[in-house]
Amino acid sequence: MLLFWKKGYEAASIPDLLEVMGISRSSLYDTFSDKQTLYRDALEHYKKGSSNKQTILEQASNVKDGILQFFEYHIASAYDTSLPGGCFVTNTATTLESPDEQVNVLIQTSFSELEQAFCELLEKGQQSGEIDKTTDIKTVSYLLLNLHQSINIMAKTGQNPERAKEMISFVITGI
């Protein structure tokens, strides 16, 4: 997973994968059939591991704190120097030249699930009175999804994480 995350699908060669995994070529093909299947499995594995962030939204006691906690965790993860940088799913969405349909579905599902988690939290906020009933929560959810993705890209390019934190604080104030 880390090799694909760091290098991308195209640049991660079979010899690279064999070396990192410590297996033979026949074991790779016996277990995964091909490089594309291994890549999809790595994306699925990543997605399972990153589901903790959405749990923050689901368990938030109030909207603004939940969104802030989500983005604090996300920014820390995106800028974690022990990882390849950004987000494996975002990197895939922006760099894979000809993803197969299953990869496209995985990316779309990942994005739509996060957008839905934002929307559900914002709906709770409208019901509790924390968020104005006239707020277009679908648009705010989409904005938050896009901020999430832009933080991934900015982290990958080495931008200052403090600026991302300032941006999120600014947006949360306006919700």
pTM reported for the whole predicted model:
0.90
pLDDT single digits (tens) 96-117: 776 688 898 999 999 999 999 9
pLDDT of residue 99: 64
Determine the pLDDT at residue 21. 94
Query: Rounded to an integer, what distance in angstroms lies between the CA atom of residue 15 and that of residue 8?
Result: 14
DSSP string, 92-146: HHHH-SS--HHHHHHHHHHHHHHHHHHHHHHHHHHHHTSS-TTS-HHHHHHHHHH
Phi-psi category of residue 100: left, alpha or beta, with phi > 0 → left and psi -120 to 50 → alpha: beta
> Would you state the pLDDT for residue 51?
75
Per-range mean pLDDT, top range of 10-14, 27-31, 48-52, 125-129: 125-129
